[in-house]
A and B are shown apart, each in its own frame.
Chain A
Amino acid sequence: MNLALPALVPALPALGAAATLAAGKKAPGLARPLAIVPVAVSAVLALVVALQLGTGQTLDAATRLTPTGGPDISLAVHLDGFSSLISVLVGVVATCVQVYSTAYLKADPRYPSYAALVSLFTAAMFLVVFSGDLIVLLVGWEVMGVCSYFLIGHHWETADARSASLKAFLVTKLGDVPFLFGIFLLGADVHSFRIPDVLAAAGEGRLGHPTLIALLLLAGVAGKSAQFPLHTWLPDAMAGPTPVSALIHAATMVAAGIYLVARLMPVFLQSGAALVVLAVMAAVTMIGSALCALAQDDLKRVLAYSTVGQLGYMAGALASGDREASVFHLVSHGAFKALLFLAAGVVIHAAHTNSISAMSRIPGLRKRVPDAYWTTGIALVALAGLPPFSGFFSKEAVLTAAEHAANGEALTNGLGPASGVPQAAGWIVLISAGLTALLTGAYATRLFLVTFHSPAGAAAAAPEVLPAADRATVVADHEADAPYSPELDEADPATAEPPAMRWPLWVLAVPTMAFGVAGLRPDWLPALLDGGSLRPTGVTAVTGTGLAVVGVLAAYGAWRSATARLATGRPAPAAVGRVPEQAGAPAAEVIVADPGRTLLGPLFGPARHGFGVDRLYHALFVRPVAAAAQLVRFLDREVVEGYVQGSGIGANLLGRAVRLAQTGNAQTYLSALLAGVVLLAVLVAV
């Protein structure tokens, strides 16, 4: 097939980014087409490439980029079913996001740079997906990191966005350093950075240090895909614009880590220890993030924690040795989570707040944003994993994979021996995934009910103009102790759902509803991937769905009882007619019927603050580093600088002493001269 097409796919958005940046200030009218068209064309080209490649094929092509002392670095493509699938996902989501952003950031003066960065980000993700060389892949990987940094910090006027962007950058880089060494070690063991060579070597068991390599690579994956020890950046990253959250922090960038492991699956199958580590990481991530999601007040933070948890599912499937299930879940999650974020953007635009407790007090919110209301519902059902939406099928695939791994017959699809996957990994993933299914159902229900169906919102029949319009009251409106990632928002509430923001929702809603079917027949999606079965199996399907339903019902029940308590205990209408000035934190605490509070009980407080992981890191890392920096500052200022200053001061004093001799009186000079002569004469004579 023509190699120009796969080369064009990453190149076009990159060129588009350059053009957008160049034209942005001079011709603002060009910024929008320049942002949308290259990305859209790339999406089409990615689809064409996928169709040309067909199923069950791989394509490798390489040209040497630069000779090094060791293995060469080459500009290579490695196309297979996985890259086809992910590239189409990236293209579709990026196009939707670009279209959506034209409306979302309509009044933003920095729109051109924003659009250019999104395009550049898309190009980098395509590069990661297509690259057949690990070093070139790393380039795309890092460009994504930088773009993410800039995009999270888009509203750099706010301190939250600045610190969130720095945090995201530093945390992901913390994982990237071991990742880099993992790649080097892999290259040294295989004598090549080419992915096909690596896969071949791993298949033949020629790797010298598979466990070390796998663990080093996992550090980078944990950073990029927000897994347990390095997950803290993702919830804070919600300070960026919502479309960025949809593109980067739900559908693509965080998926890069999962995709990399899927690509290098044979390497990981060589090391049972690494798989167990991955399983534990995934389990802790899943359960912890689901509990956190149940307690968050910020709509986007709920979604962020949910993303972390779903990435845990994918990592769990990888730990069970089944990359097919993982990528299946990646794609369906990419669709429904992008949809959730874009819909959340619409809701946030309409409500002028991120806080779901504040949204619950807004009368008639769901009537003002009907499209967002319905698509959020669809996507949340998919998230909870209820049939027949895509989330159900992909989550069942993960559960099936874990079940097989637990029985010692992991679905590796011929990439490695089934015995390479420890049964412990399977059990860990299976149990935590079941528990997470329950919690996911609960927090999805809570999110939907509190945001759209609160009694205060339902009480007002007619849509009114939002009372709390100015930013100061909006910021004060969320619950005082909750972590909050507010976003500057200049939208006009009257036009909450412009068409450019409405249509991407429905475009993404289609795969959310229907994509799961693709896994049913072995000659559909599985043929594109490894060929294993992606059908739900009886036991896990019933258990998983049952657990999700139990979660949904529990959340609903808790919400009903909380609402009832609220209705009897306190006059709810008081909240409706409240003037914004009285919207203090204590009032917000009591008037919101939050099922999370009931369900989590004493865990609610810790879960709301992410179980204090941030505080722990602050105590463990930030404070020692700050203290060390102070020590260095002291040494530099007081000791090193002391010597430098001292030499200067000494020379100065010496100079002053010498000046005293220069009186201008010639007789003094002559006297000194004579004294010197006499002295010399005496010395010579004696």
Chain B
Amino acid sequence: MHLAYPVVLSALLFSVGVYGVLARRNAVLVLMSVELMLNAVNLNLVAFDAWLRDSLHAGQALTLFTITVAAAEIGLGLAIVLLLFRARGTADIDRATALGDPAEPYASVEEEPAAAEALKGRATA
């Protein structure tokens, strides 16, 4: 089988993954997109391993290793998403901007409780 097929496939998979990471709002889907990118890499590894006829099969070994790490990572990632959802009532990634710099640098005291209520409202929704 020609090398071009798996490489093109993995490139497509990776592009889909990048699109998903950058464009999807739901954190679960973002995580799935990350998995897509990882698996694109895995596919590359296996393909090149076969094509280069590596006697030690380093590509395959590395793929197994990546799958393990990805499993652990997805477990951790889903746990974080779950906690985020529990805390915020939503898993939308573009709503989780608490670490950002507020638009108004020295927000007056009256605005603070308003923002907190907005958060609370979202949590109950």
Chain A residues engaging chain B, CB cutoff 8 angstroms: 656, 659, 662-667, 670-671, 674
Interface contact tally, CB-CB below 8 A: 31
Name the B residues within 8 Å of A663 (CB-CB).
97, 100-101
Name the A residues within 8 Å of B94 (CB-CB).
665, 667
14 additional contacts, CB 8 Å, given A664-B100, A664-B101, A665-B100? Answer: A656-B105, A659-B101, A659-B105, A662-B101, A663-B97, A663-B101, A664-B99, A665-B93, A665-B94, A665-B97, A667-B93, A670-B22, A671-B22, A674-B22
Name the A residues within 8 Å of B99 (CB-CB).
664
Q: What's the Cα separation between A662 and B102 when bound, in Å?
A: 9
With beta carbons under 8 angstroms apart, the residue of B21, B96, B97, B105 that contacts A670 is B21
Name the B residues within 8 Å of A666 (CB-CB).
93, 96
Q: B82 interface residue, CB < 8 Å from A?
A: no
Write out, one digit per residue, whether chain B residues 85-103 have a CB within 8 A of any chain A CB (1) or not (0): 0000000011011111100
Q: B18 interface residue, CB < 8 Å from A?
A: yes
Q: Would you list 21 pairs from A and B whose C-beta atoms are within 8 A, ordered by A residue?
A: A656-B105, A659-B101, A659-B105, A662-B100, A663-B100, A664-B96, A664-B99, A664-B100, A664-B101, A665-B100, A666-B93, A667-B21, A667-B22, A667-B23, A667-B30, A667-B93, A667-B94, A670-B21, A670-B22, A671-B22, A674-B18
Name the B residues within 8 Å of A662 (CB-CB).
100-101
Q: What's the Cα separation between A659 and B97 when bound, in Å?
A: 14
B98 to chain A: closest residue by CB: A664
Q: What's the Cα separation between A671 and B96 when bound, in Å?
A: 16
Write out, one digit per residue, whether chain B residues 10-54 have a CB within 8 A of any chain A CB (1) or not (0): 000000001001110000001000000000000000000000000
Q: What's the Cα separation between A656 and B102 when bound, in Å?
A: 11
Q: What's the Cα separation between A566 and B11 when bound, in Å?
A: 123
Q: What's the Cα separation between A545 and B122 when bound, in Å?
A: 112
A667 to chain B: closest residue by CB: B22
Name the distance in Å between B31's Cβ and chain A's nearest Cβ: 12
Name the distance in Å between A666's Cβ and chain B's nearest Cβ: 6
Name the B residues within 8 Å of A670 (CB-CB).
21-22
Name the distance in Å between B19's Cβ and chain A's nearest Cβ: 11
Name the A residues within 8 Å of B105 (CB-CB).
656, 659
A664 to chain B: closest residue by CB: B100
Name the B residues within 8 Å of A664 (CB-CB).
96-101
A658 to chain B: closest residue by CB: B101
Name the A residues within 8 Å of B101 (CB-CB).
659, 662-664
Q: What's the Cα separation between A670 and B21 when bound, in Å?
A: 8
B21 to chain A: closest residue by CB: A670
Name the distance in Å between B80's Cβ and chain A's nearest Cβ: 12
Name the distance in Å between A658's Cβ and chain B's nearest Cβ: 9
**Most chain B CB within a 10 A radius of its CB, from A656, A659, A665, A666:** A666
Name the distance in Å between A652's Cβ and chain B's nearest Cβ: 10
Name the distance in Å between A325's Cβ and chain B's nearest Cβ: 81
Q: What's the Cα separation between A674 and B98 when bound, in Å?
A: 23
Name the A residues within 8 Å of B21 (CB-CB).
667, 670
Name the distance in Å between A413's Cβ and chain B's nearest Cβ: 85
Q: What's the Cα separation between A414 and B119 when bound, in Å?
A: 106
Name the A residues within 8 Å of B30 (CB-CB).
667
B30 to chain A: closest residue by CB: A667
Q: What's the Cα separation between A659 and B102 when bound, in Å?
A: 9
A663 to chain B: closest residue by CB: B100
Name the B residues within 8 Å of A665 (CB-CB).
93-94, 97, 100
